[in-house]
Chain A
Amino acid sequence: MTETILTLILFAMLVAVAFAIIQMRQLFAVVLLSSVFSLLTALLFVIMDAVDVAFTEAAVGAGISTVLMLGTIALTRKRSAERTRSDILPFFVVAVTGAALVYGTLDMPNFGDANAPANAYLRQDYLDRSVTEIDVPNVVTAILASYRGFDTLGETAVVFTAGIGVLLLLGGLAYRRAEDDEES
Protein backbone atom coordinates (compact mmCIF):
# COMPACT_ATOMS: atom_id res chain seq x y z
CA MET A 1 0.00 0.00 0.00
CA THR A 2 2.80 2.38 0.94
CA GLU A 3 4.55 1.52 -2.29
CA THR A 4 1.44 2.32 -4.34
CA ILE A 5 1.00 5.71 -2.69
CA LEU A 6 4.69 6.57 -3.11
CA THR A 7 4.52 5.52 -6.77
CA LEU A 8 1.47 7.70 -7.31
CA ILE A 9 3.04 10.79 -5.73
CA LEU A 10 6.32 10.39 -7.61
CA PHE A 11 4.43 9.76 -10.79
CA ALA A 12 2.38 12.92 -10.35
CA MET A 13 5.64 14.85 -10.04
CA LEU A 14 7.01 13.09 -13.13
CA VAL A 15 3.99 14.04 -15.23
CA ALA A 16 4.17 17.61 -13.93
CA VAL A 17 7.80 17.82 -15.03
CA ALA A 18 6.91 16.38 -18.44
CA PHE A 19 4.16 18.97 -18.99
CA ALA A 20 6.47 21.74 -17.80
CA ILE A 21 9.04 20.60 -20.38
CA ILE A 22 6.35 20.84 -23.08
CA GLN A 23 5.57 24.42 -22.03
CA MET A 24 9.13 25.74 -21.64
CA ARG A 25 10.64 27.72 -24.47
CA GLN A 26 14.00 28.36 -22.87
CA LEU A 27 16.04 25.35 -24.01
CA PHE A 28 18.38 25.58 -21.05
CA ALA A 29 15.46 25.13 -18.62
CA VAL A 30 14.36 22.14 -20.69
CA VAL A 31 17.76 20.54 -20.12
CA LEU A 32 17.66 21.23 -16.38
CA LEU A 33 14.14 19.82 -16.13
CA SER A 34 15.13 16.72 -18.05
CA SER A 35 17.88 16.05 -15.53
CA VAL A 36 15.30 16.37 -12.72
CA PHE A 37 13.09 14.03 -14.76
CA SER A 38 15.79 11.39 -14.71
CA LEU A 39 16.21 11.78 -10.93
CA LEU A 40 12.51 11.04 -10.46
CA THR A 41 12.72 8.14 -12.91
CA ALA A 42 15.53 6.56 -10.91
CA LEU A 43 13.46 6.89 -7.73
CA LEU A 44 10.55 5.11 -9.40
CA PHE A 45 12.87 2.34 -10.59
CA VAL A 46 14.09 1.87 -7.01
CA ILE A 47 10.52 1.53 -5.80
CA MET A 48 9.78 -1.01 -8.53
CA ASP A 49 12.74 -3.19 -7.37
CA ALA A 50 14.85 -2.52 -10.46
CA VAL A 51 17.97 -1.47 -8.58
CA ASP A 52 20.36 -2.08 -11.47
CA VAL A 53 18.24 -0.07 -13.88
CA ALA A 54 18.03 2.77 -11.36
CA PHE A 55 21.81 2.66 -11.10
CA THR A 56 22.22 3.00 -14.85
CA GLU A 57 19.64 5.77 -15.10
CA ALA A 58 21.37 7.63 -12.27
CA ALA A 59 24.77 7.36 -13.91
CA VAL A 60 23.51 8.40 -17.33
CA GLY A 61 20.83 10.97 -16.54
CA ALA A 62 22.49 13.13 -13.94
CA GLY A 63 25.87 13.64 -15.56
CA ILE A 64 26.38 12.73 -19.16
CA SER A 65 23.09 13.54 -20.85
CA THR A 66 22.95 16.99 -19.21
CA VAL A 67 26.46 17.77 -20.40
CA LEU A 68 25.77 16.55 -23.94
CA MET A 69 22.54 18.54 -24.27
CA LEU A 70 24.27 21.66 -22.98
CA GLY A 71 27.02 21.08 -25.51
CA THR A 72 24.42 20.91 -28.26
CA ILE A 73 22.74 24.11 -27.13
CA ALA A 74 26.12 25.83 -26.99
CA LEU A 75 26.63 24.89 -30.63
CA THR A 76 23.10 25.75 -31.81
CA ARG A 77 20.83 28.24 -30.08
CA LYS A 78 19.38 28.95 -26.69
CA ARG A 79 15.66 29.57 -27.20
CA SER A 80 13.14 27.69 -29.27
CA ALA A 81 11.06 29.77 -31.66
CA GLU A 82 7.41 30.67 -31.28
CA ARG A 83 5.21 27.98 -32.72
CA THR A 84 2.75 29.34 -35.26
CA ARG A 85 0.74 26.23 -36.02
CA SER A 86 -2.07 25.19 -33.70
CA ASP A 87 -1.72 22.27 -31.32
CA ILE A 88 -5.20 20.85 -31.92
CA LEU A 89 -4.39 18.31 -34.61
CA PRO A 90 -1.34 16.84 -32.77
CA PHE A 91 -3.39 16.70 -29.58
CA PHE A 92 -6.13 14.79 -31.40
CA VAL A 93 -3.61 12.31 -32.83
CA VAL A 94 -1.99 11.79 -29.43
CA ALA A 95 -5.37 11.35 -27.70
CA VAL A 96 -6.47 8.70 -30.20
CA THR A 97 -3.16 6.84 -29.86
CA GLY A 98 -3.43 6.98 -26.08
CA ALA A 99 -6.99 5.68 -26.13
CA ALA A 100 -5.91 2.77 -28.32
CA LEU A 101 -3.08 1.93 -25.94
CA VAL A 102 -5.39 2.10 -22.90
CA TYR A 103 -7.77 -0.24 -24.68
CA GLY A 104 -4.82 -2.57 -25.18
CA THR A 105 -3.98 -2.64 -21.47
CA LEU A 106 -7.45 -3.91 -20.54
CA ASP A 107 -6.35 -7.47 -21.33
CA MET A 108 -3.11 -7.21 -19.40
CA PRO A 109 -2.63 -8.96 -16.04
CA ASN A 110 -2.69 -6.81 -12.92
CA PHE A 111 0.32 -4.82 -11.80
CA GLY A 112 2.44 -6.97 -9.49
CA ASP A 113 0.64 -10.21 -10.35
CA ALA A 114 2.94 -13.14 -9.55
CA ASN A 115 1.00 -15.46 -11.87
CA ALA A 116 1.23 -13.26 -14.93
CA PRO A 117 2.63 -15.07 -17.99
CA ALA A 118 5.78 -12.93 -17.92
CA ASN A 119 6.54 -13.90 -14.33
CA ALA A 120 5.24 -17.43 -14.03
CA TYR A 121 7.80 -19.53 -15.91
CA LEU A 122 10.95 -17.77 -17.08
CA ARG A 123 11.50 -15.80 -13.87
CA GLN A 124 11.52 -18.85 -11.62
CA ASP A 125 13.67 -20.72 -14.10
CA TYR A 126 16.36 -18.01 -14.14
CA LEU A 127 16.29 -17.60 -10.36
CA ASP A 128 16.64 -21.34 -9.74
CA ARG A 129 19.27 -22.05 -12.36
CA SER A 130 21.55 -19.11 -11.68
CA VAL A 131 22.09 -20.25 -8.07
CA THR A 132 23.73 -23.50 -9.14
CA GLU A 133 25.05 -22.67 -12.59
CA ILE A 134 26.52 -19.20 -12.19
CA ASP A 135 26.68 -18.83 -8.41
CA VAL A 136 26.79 -15.03 -8.16
CA PRO A 137 24.37 -13.06 -5.94
CA ASN A 138 23.36 -10.51 -8.57
CA VAL A 139 21.03 -12.38 -10.93
CA VAL A 140 20.83 -9.39 -13.26
CA THR A 141 24.58 -9.52 -13.94
CA ALA A 142 24.40 -13.28 -14.39
CA ILE A 143 21.69 -13.02 -17.02
CA LEU A 144 23.27 -9.99 -18.66
CA ALA A 145 26.70 -11.48 -19.20
CA SER A 146 26.09 -15.20 -19.35
CA TYR A 147 22.59 -16.28 -20.35
CA ARG A 148 22.09 -13.36 -22.70
CA GLY A 149 25.72 -12.88 -23.65
CA PHE A 150 24.98 -12.59 -27.37
CA ASP A 151 22.46 -9.84 -26.73
CA THR A 152 24.92 -7.85 -24.64
CA LEU A 153 27.64 -8.28 -27.26
CA GLY A 154 25.22 -6.80 -29.77
CA GLU A 155 24.38 -3.88 -27.46
CA THR A 156 28.07 -3.17 -26.92
CA ALA A 157 28.56 -3.17 -30.67
CA VAL A 158 25.65 -0.72 -31.01
CA VAL A 159 27.21 1.64 -28.46
CA PHE A 160 30.51 1.37 -30.34
CA THR A 161 28.79 2.12 -33.65
CA ALA A 162 27.01 5.14 -32.21
CA GLY A 163 30.33 6.45 -30.94
CA ILE A 164 31.89 6.03 -34.38
CA GLY A 165 28.89 7.83 -35.88
CA VAL A 166 29.31 10.83 -33.57
CA LEU A 167 33.02 10.99 -34.36
CA LEU A 168 32.32 10.94 -38.09
CA LEU A 169 29.64 13.64 -37.79
CA LEU A 170 31.44 16.00 -35.47
CA GLY A 171 34.81 15.65 -37.07
CA GLY A 172 36.88 14.03 -34.38
CA LEU A 173 38.31 11.71 -37.01
CA ALA A 174 38.11 14.04 -39.99
CA TYR A 175 40.20 16.74 -38.29
CA ARG A 176 42.91 14.25 -37.46
CA ARG A 177 43.03 12.90 -40.97
CA ALA A 178 43.39 16.44 -42.33
CA GLU A 179 46.26 17.06 -39.93
CA ASP A 180 47.94 13.83 -40.99
CA ASP A 181 47.62 14.83 -44.65
CA GLU A 182 49.26 18.16 -43.97
CA GLU A 183 52.16 16.50 -42.18
CA SER A 184 52.83 13.96 -44.91
Chain B
Amino acid sequence: MATPSDDHGAPPEAIFDWAFLTGHAEYWMFITLMMAGLFMVVARGNLVKKVVGLNIFQVSVFMLYISIGKITDGTAPIFPLNMDVDPDVIYSNPLPHVLMLTAIVVGIATTSLALALIVRIREAFGTIEEDELLILERAIDTEENRRYSAQSAGDA
Protein backbone atom coordinates (compact mmCIF):
# COMPACT_ATOMS: atom_id res chain seq x y z
CA MET B 1 0.00 0.00 0.00
CA ALA B 2 2.26 2.71 -1.23
CA THR B 3 -0.28 5.38 -2.07
CA PRO B 4 -3.68 6.23 -0.70
CA SER B 5 -5.31 5.56 -4.06
CA ASP B 6 -4.27 1.89 -3.78
CA ASP B 7 -5.97 1.77 -0.43
CA HIS B 8 -9.31 2.85 -1.78
CA GLY B 9 -9.23 0.40 -4.64
CA ALA B 10 -8.24 -2.53 -2.41
CA PRO B 11 -10.44 -5.61 -2.84
CA PRO B 12 -12.22 -7.04 0.25
CA GLU B 13 -9.74 -9.90 0.69
CA ALA B 14 -7.10 -7.32 1.57
CA ILE B 15 -8.69 -7.19 5.06
CA PHE B 16 -6.55 -10.16 6.02
CA ASP B 17 -3.47 -8.26 4.95
CA TRP B 18 -0.99 -8.06 7.86
CA ALA B 19 0.02 -4.46 7.08
CA PHE B 20 -3.64 -3.48 6.97
CA LEU B 21 -4.32 -5.09 10.36
CA THR B 22 -1.37 -3.48 12.14
CA GLY B 23 -2.12 -0.19 10.42
CA HIS B 24 -5.70 -0.13 11.63
CA ALA B 25 -5.44 -1.75 15.07
CA GLU B 26 -4.78 1.66 16.62
CA TYR B 27 -8.03 3.08 15.27
CA TRP B 28 -9.98 0.10 16.61
CA MET B 29 -8.44 0.60 20.03
CA PHE B 30 -9.58 4.22 20.02
CA ILE B 31 -13.05 3.08 19.03
CA THR B 32 -13.10 0.63 21.96
CA LEU B 33 -12.26 3.47 24.31
CA MET B 34 -14.84 5.72 22.70
CA MET B 35 -17.53 3.08 23.16
CA ALA B 36 -16.55 2.64 26.81
CA GLY B 37 -17.17 6.35 27.28
CA LEU B 38 -20.46 6.20 25.38
CA PHE B 39 -21.62 3.22 27.44
CA MET B 40 -20.91 5.19 30.59
CA VAL B 41 -22.94 8.15 29.36
CA VAL B 42 -25.86 5.95 28.33
CA ALA B 43 -26.00 3.30 31.04
CA ARG B 44 -24.86 4.99 34.24
CA GLY B 45 -27.38 7.12 36.05
CA ASN B 46 -25.11 9.24 38.21
CA LEU B 47 -24.52 12.64 36.61
CA VAL B 48 -20.89 12.92 37.75
CA LYS B 49 -20.15 9.55 36.16
CA LYS B 50 -21.83 10.73 32.99
CA VAL B 51 -19.45 13.70 32.89
CA VAL B 52 -16.46 11.39 33.41
CA GLY B 53 -17.78 9.23 30.56
CA LEU B 54 -18.00 12.28 28.34
CA ASN B 55 -14.38 13.06 29.22
CA ILE B 56 -13.29 9.57 28.18
CA PHE B 57 -15.18 9.94 24.91
CA GLN B 58 -13.50 13.30 24.36
CA VAL B 59 -10.02 11.92 25.02
CA SER B 60 -10.54 9.12 22.52
CA VAL B 61 -11.54 11.66 19.88
CA PHE B 62 -8.35 13.62 20.64
CA MET B 63 -6.33 10.45 20.16
CA LEU B 64 -8.02 9.67 16.87
CA TYR B 65 -7.07 13.12 15.57
CA ILE B 66 -3.49 12.88 16.83
CA SER B 67 -3.07 9.41 15.35
CA ILE B 68 -4.06 10.77 11.93
CA GLY B 69 -1.19 13.24 12.16
CA LYS B 70 1.40 10.69 13.30
CA ILE B 71 3.96 9.57 10.74
CA THR B 72 6.03 6.42 11.19
CA ASP B 73 9.60 7.24 12.26
CA GLY B 74 8.59 10.87 12.52
CA THR B 75 9.43 13.20 15.37
CA ALA B 76 7.67 16.04 17.16
CA PRO B 77 7.16 19.13 14.97
CA ILE B 78 9.66 21.32 16.81
CA PHE B 79 12.74 22.44 14.91
CA PRO B 80 16.21 22.65 16.49
CA LEU B 81 16.78 25.91 18.37
CA ASN B 82 19.12 27.38 15.74
CA MET B 83 16.46 26.81 13.03
CA ASP B 84 18.90 24.59 11.13
CA VAL B 85 16.21 22.39 9.58
CA ASP B 86 17.49 19.09 8.25
CA PRO B 87 15.36 18.14 5.20
CA ASP B 88 15.86 14.42 5.90
CA VAL B 89 14.17 14.49 9.30
CA ILE B 90 10.45 13.65 9.11
CA TYR B 91 8.26 15.84 11.29
CA SER B 92 4.75 14.73 12.21
CA ASN B 93 1.75 16.74 11.13
CA PRO B 94 1.43 19.78 13.46
CA LEU B 95 -2.11 20.73 12.46
CA PRO B 96 -4.03 18.11 14.52
CA HIS B 97 -1.89 19.06 17.52
CA VAL B 98 -3.03 22.67 17.25
CA LEU B 99 -6.68 21.72 16.98
CA MET B 100 -6.57 19.32 19.94
CA LEU B 101 -4.48 21.60 22.15
CA THR B 102 -7.16 24.25 22.17
CA ALA B 103 -9.86 21.60 22.42
CA ILE B 104 -8.43 20.24 25.68
CA VAL B 105 -8.57 23.61 27.43
CA VAL B 106 -12.04 24.32 26.06
CA GLY B 107 -12.96 20.79 27.22
CA ILE B 108 -11.98 21.47 30.82
CA ALA B 109 -13.85 24.79 30.76
CA THR B 110 -17.04 23.15 29.47
CA THR B 111 -16.60 20.25 31.90
CA SER B 112 -16.53 22.71 34.76
CA LEU B 113 -19.70 24.28 33.37
CA ALA B 114 -21.34 20.83 33.42
CA LEU B 115 -20.15 20.26 36.98
CA ALA B 116 -21.57 23.63 38.03
CA LEU B 117 -24.91 22.59 36.50
CA ILE B 118 -24.76 19.35 38.50
CA VAL B 119 -24.21 21.31 41.71
CA ARG B 120 -27.24 23.47 40.93
CA ILE B 121 -29.35 20.40 40.10
CA ARG B 122 -28.41 18.90 43.43
CA GLU B 123 -29.44 22.08 45.22
CA ALA B 124 -32.75 22.29 43.37
CA PHE B 125 -33.80 18.62 43.45
CA GLY B 126 -31.71 17.07 46.22
CA THR B 127 -30.36 14.29 44.04
CA ILE B 128 -27.97 13.72 41.14
CA GLU B 129 -29.31 10.31 40.05
CA GLU B 130 -31.00 10.29 36.68
CA ASP B 131 -33.77 7.88 37.71
CA GLU B 132 -34.78 9.89 40.76
CA LEU B 133 -34.63 13.10 38.74
CA LEU B 134 -37.01 11.63 36.15
CA ILE B 135 -39.48 10.60 38.87
CA LEU B 136 -39.34 14.07 40.42
CA GLU B 137 -39.82 15.75 37.05
CA ARG B 138 -42.80 13.54 36.29
CA ALA B 139 -44.36 14.36 39.65
CA ILE B 140 -43.90 18.08 38.96
CA ASP B 141 -45.44 17.67 35.51
CA THR B 142 -48.52 15.84 36.77
CA GLU B 143 -48.94 18.41 39.52
CA GLU B 144 -48.87 21.22 36.97
CA ASN B 145 -51.25 19.37 34.67
CA ARG B 146 -53.69 18.82 37.51
CA ARG B 147 -53.53 22.45 38.53
CA TYR B 148 -53.99 23.62 34.95
CA SER B 149 -56.96 21.35 34.33
CA ALA B 150 -58.53 22.37 37.64
CA GLN B 151 -58.05 26.01 36.68
CA SER B 152 -59.55 25.58 33.22
CA ALA B 153 -62.46 23.65 34.74
CA GLY B 154 -63.01 26.52 37.14
CA ASP B 155 -62.93 29.01 34.28
CA ALA B 156 -65.52 27.04 32.37
Contact = CB atoms under 8 A, between A and B. Distances in A.
Q: Do A and B share a complex? A: yes
Interface of A: 4, 7-8, 11, 14-15, 18-19, 21-22, 27, 30-31, 34, 37-38, 41, 44-45, 48-53, 56-57, 60, 64-65, 68-69, 71-73, 75-77, 80-81, 83-85, 87, 90-91, 93-95, 97-98, 101-102, 105-120, 122-123, 126-127, 131, 135, 137-140, 143-144, 148, 151-152, 155, 158-159, 162-163, 165-166, 169-170
A52 B92 CA distance: 12
A150 to B, nearest CB: 12
Interface residues of B, number: 93
Chain B interface mostly: helix
The 9 nearest A-B residue pairs measured at CB: A110-B23, A112-B72, A80-B46, A162-B109, A90-B43, A155-B102, A123-B93, A49-B92, A169-B116
Contacts of A81: 45-46, 129, 131-132
Interface string B1-28: 1111001100000010001101111111
A139 B106 contact: no
A148 B99 CA distance: 9
B40 A102 contact: no
Contacts of B96: 50, 118
A41 B63 contact: yes
Given A110-B24, A119-B69, A127-B77, A22 B40 contact: yes
Given A118-B93, A139-B79, A60 B29 contact: no
Nearest to B43: A90
Contact of A113 (B23, B43, B108, B118): B23
Contacts of A144: 98, 101-102
A50 B131 contact: no
Contacts of A91: 39, 43
A80 B33 contact: no
B109 A75 contact: no
Contacts of A165: 113, 116
Contacts of B40: 21-22
A98 B90 CA distance: 33
Contacts of B102: 144, 151-152, 155
13 contacts: A14-B33, A38-B59, A50-B96, A53-B97, A57-B104, A77-B122, A105-B27, A106-B24, A107-B8, A116-B68, A123-B91, A137-B81, A159-B105
Given A53-B101, A139-B77, A127 B91 contact: yes
Interface of B: 1-4, 7-8, 15, 19-20, 22-29, 31-40, 42-46, 48-49, 51-53, 55-56, 59, 62-63, 66-72, 74-81, 83, 85, 90-98, 100-113, 115-120, 122, 128-129, 131-132
A53 B62 contact: yes
A168 to B, nearest CB: 9
Contacts of A8: 25, 29
Contacts of B63: 41, 44-45, 48
Given A50-B100, A118-B69, A155-B105, A143 B22 contact: no
Given A110-B19, A140-B94, A144-B101, A116 B4 contact: yes
